[in-house]
Structure 1
Amino acid sequence: MTQTQQLRTLLLLIVCLSMMFHSEAVFSQKNINELRFSSATIIVKDLKTSASWYRKFLQFSVEEYRPDKYVKMKNDDFRLILKQGNSTLLKSQINFKEGKKYINGITKLGFATNQFDSLYMYLQKYEQIIVKDIHDDINLGLKSYVTLDPDGNLLQFFDIPNQSRLYQVDPMYFTIQSSDYINTLKWYTTHMGFEEIEIVDDSNIHFQNLLRKDGIILELVHLPHQSVETTEFMPLNRDLAQIEELSFKIGLAKTKAFELDNNGNKVVFMK
C-alpha cells in the first residue's frame, strides 16, 4: 500500500469514528405496544473493565456506580446492569466433565446499528476479538458479525442503515442454548407470542430455530445431551461470568407476567 493509500485509509477511519463517537447515541422511535428490550443484567469478573468497555464501544452512559457491587448503564430506554461477581469464573476457565462441552442458558445479545462498518473498524483498531467475521445471515437477510465483551459474552451486531448521522445501537436479538428445545420453543411461543421464522440456511453445526416477536429475534440453539447446567460444574461460593437476566416490556408495563422461562433462565416480562 502506498503512502497516499495509507493516508486515505487513515482519514476514512477518522471520519467514521467521528460520526460514531462525537454524537449522542439515540434509538429510533418504537411503537409502545410492541415487545421491546427493557434491560439486561450481566455478571462480570471486573466491574471497572466491563463498564469501560460498554461505554467505549457501545456508548452506554453510567447512571449509577457502586464500587465492587454494580454499575447501572443506559442507552436511551435500554438499561444494562453489570454486577460484580464473587471470585468470578469465566466460561473459558470451565473444566467440563468428560463428554460434556456445552452450557444451557442465555449466551448472546444482538444489536442493530446504523454504523455497522465504523464499529467494526473501531473494534479492529483496538484489537478486539472478532469471533465471526462480517457475513450475510441468509435467514434474516442481514449482514452481521460477532465479537466478545471482556467476560467472553457473545455480542452480535446487525447492519440496519438509516439516514441518521447519529450513532444508534438498538438491542434486537438474544440467543438461548437448550437441550430441552421442544419445550423451550413451546414456552416462548405460548408465553411471549414469538413466531417461527422460516430457516433457509440450516448449515449450523447444531440445529437452530429463529423466532420473532415484533422487532425482537430469538435464536434458539438445540444442544445435544452432552450439555450441562451451571449447577453441575460451578464451585461453591463462585459466580459464573454470564448474561444473567433479560427484561422485556410491552406498553406501560405495570404488571409482571413471569420471571423464569422453562429452563430457569431469568426472563422478566412486563406488560
Structure 2
Amino acid sequence: MIKNQNFAPLLLLIVYVVMMFHPKPVFSQKSISELRMTGATLIVKDLKVSAGWYRKFLQFSIEEYRPNQHVKMRNDEFHLTLRQGSGTLLKSQIRFKEGKKYINGIDKIGFKTNRFDSLHLYLAHYEQKLFKDTYTDPNLSIESFIAIDPDGNKIQFFNQPNNSQLYEIDPCYFTIQSSDYINTLKWYTTQMGFEEIEIVDDTNLHFQNYLTKDGIILELIHLPYESVETTEFMPLERDLAQIEQVSFKIGTAKTKAFVMDNNGNKVVYMK
C-alpha cells in the first residue's frame, strides 16, 4: 500500500506542470498605458426597460436620467449611454429590399466576467433569450455565451474567474460587420494597432477573423455583397435600435484622434 505522503510531491509536480503549459489567456490585464474600451452608446426603444436590463444583469449604476432623451450609466470605468430613438425600429422588424440580408455596422460588444455561470443561470431564471448558448470558440479558447438585450443587441460574456468576492465585468470585445473587409482590416491594423490572430478553424476564414490589441478582441465579419447600410432602408425621422458607438482610450490624454472608422461607424479613439 502506498502511503498518502508519497502522493503530495507527485500532485504538486502535476499541478506545476499543468500551470507551466497552461495557455496564456486571451484577455490579459491592462495597464493605463494600454488600449482600453471605455464606453458604448446604444439607441433604444424604451429607456426604462433597457436601463433596467443593464442595471439588473450587468449591475450598471445610473448616473443621469433624462426622460425621453437618454440614460447615462456606469460600471467601474466603463460608461454606457442609452439614447432614446425616434419611432425606433428593431432589427427584427426590418423589411429588407430584395436580395439584401445583412447590415453593416457595430454588431456586438462583449465583457469578461468572474461570475460567468451565475450570470448564465440568472438570465435563464428570468427567461432572458440567448442568441447563442455556452460554447468555446477554438480561436479564443475561452468559454462564452451571447445574450440579447431588450432591443435585440448581442452582448457576449466570457468566462474569466478570479478570487474577487465582487461581481466584475470588464469590457474586452466588439464586432464589426463590413462588406468592405480588406479595407476595414487594414484600417484597424494601421489606425489602432490591432493584429490578426491565427485562425484555428479555417471553415470561417473567408468571412470571419479575430484581431487583438492589449487584450481587446475585435471580431471582424466579412459580409457578402448582399448587405446594406442602415440609411438604405430607414425612413426619415426614425432610428434603428442598435449599438451606435464604441469608445476607446490610451493613457490619460483627452484628445480625440478620430470619431469614425472607414465604414462610417462611430468608433471614438482618444489618445
TM-score, structure 2 normalization? 0.88
Give 1:104-115 correspondences, 5 Å limit: 104-115=104-115
Report deviation, 1:206.
6.3
Report whether the alignment pairs 1:244 with 2:244. Answer: yes
- Structure 2 distance, partners of 1:231, 1:206, is 26
Report whether the alignment pairs 1:256 with 2:271. Answer: no
Report deviation, 1:201.
1.6
- Structure 2 distance, partners of 1:39, 1:213, is 17
The C-alpha deviation readout for 1:27-84, integer Å capped at 9, x for no partner, is: x974000000111000000000000000000000000000000000000010000000
Give 1:97-176 correspondences, 5 Å limit: 97-176=97-176
Structure 2 counterpart of 1:88: 88
Give 1:30-69 correspondences, 5 Å limit: 30-69=30-69
- Structure 2 distance, partners of 1:188, 1:29, is 21
Contact in 1 for aligned 2:41/2:243 (Cα 8 Å) = yes
- Structure 2 distance, partners of 1:227, 1:255, is 34
- Structure 1 distance, partners of 2:205, 2:227, is 15
Report deviation, 1:204.
4.1
Report deviation, 1:202.
3.3
Structure 2 counterpart of 1:189: 189
In terms of mean alpha carbon deviation, does 134-143 or 198-207 score higher?
A: 198-207
Amino acid at match of 1:173: Y
Amino acid at match of 1:230: T
Report deviation, 1:154.
0.4
Aligned structure 1 segments of 4 or more residues deviating by more than 4 angstroms:
none
- Structure 2 distance, partners of 1:89, 1:205, is 32
Q: Percent identity?
A: 73
Structure 2 counterpart of 1:199: 199
Structure with the greater alpha carbon radius of gyration = 2
SS state of the match for residue 251, structure 1? coil
Report deviation, 1:205.
9.4
Contact in 1 for aligned 2:199/2:205 (Cα 8 Å) = no
SS state of the match for residue 50, structure 2? helix
- Structure 2 distance, partners of 1:200, 1:163, is 31
* Root mean square deviation of aligned Cα: 1.3
Contact in 2 for aligned 1:86/1:237 (Cα 8 Å) = yes
Contact in 2 for aligned 1:206/1:223 (Cα 8 Å) = no
Contact in 2 for aligned 1:202/1:208 (Cα 8 Å) = no
Contact in 1 for aligned 2:70/2:82 (Cα 8 Å) = yes
SS state of the match for residue 68, structure 1? coil
The C-alpha deviation readout for 1:190-243, integer Å capped at 9, x for no partner, is: 000000001102344961110000011000000000000001100111000000
- Structure 1 distance, partners of 2:235, 2:198, is 41
Report whether the alignment pairs 1:219 with 2:257. Answer: no
Contact in 2 for aligned 1:112/1:169 (Cα 8 Å) = yes
- Structure 2 distance, partners of 1:76, 1:242, is 23
Contact in 2 for aligned 1:131/1:147 (Cα 8 Å) = yes
Return closer, same or farther for 1:214/1:205 CA change in 2, 3 Å cut-off: closer
SS state of the match for residue 147, structure 1? strand
Query: What residue ranges of structure 2 are gaps of 5+ in the alignment?
Result: 1-27
Query: How many residues align structurally?
Result: 244
Report deviation, 1:165.
1.7
Report whether the alignment pairs 1:78 with 2:78. Answer: yes
TM-score, structure 1 normalization? 0.88
